[in-house]
Structure 1
């Protein structure tokens, strides 16, 4: 059984590209089905490399509240960690 494809509005976990930060909650702001090709053609938004890549809004504590990450690949959860700059599904509880 393959992993479900990420879809617009789903909550995922994200680990920062530099790996310094703990995993954060993020929401999928764009997937392959919601990506506007006109925006990509005009250079307004990056393309996605696969149907598993997403654009995210990453929630953070503090005043800024979060930041955007583009074209984020999925990462495999191993011992509670994912590689830097990747997303994964939250563990089922």
Structure 2
């Protein structure tokens, strides 16, 4: 899967119990603001598969940003949402 801005993905946390949370891609290699990167206001992406995310969390804050996130199933990585899942 090539990530695109607006895609909903799964993100596994880097800290604590490494909970899996829903996240939305806020920037990908095609939508990254080059002037923001040059000015230092936006982190660069290390590869076309890395993305910036807004991670949703069931807390008062509602979520948090994660930058330059690589693909995978491990802590601090994003993975595609399953396309279908069985109903309980």
Structure 1 length as normaliser, TM-score?
A: 0.86
The offset of 1:84, in angstroms, is 0.3
Paired residues, what number?
84
Instruction: Provide the C-alpha distance between the structure 2 equivalents of 1:58 and 1:45, rounded to a whole number of angstroms.
Output: 17
Match of 1:83 in 2: 74
The offset of 1:59, in angstroms, is 0.2
Runs of 4+ in 1 over 3 A off after TM superposition: none
Structure 2 length as normaliser, TM-score?
A: 0.91
Gaps of 5+ in 1: 76-81
Gaps of 5+ in 2: none
Aligned residue runs from structure 1 range 1-93, under 5 A: 4-18=1-15, 20-75=17-72, 82-93=73-84
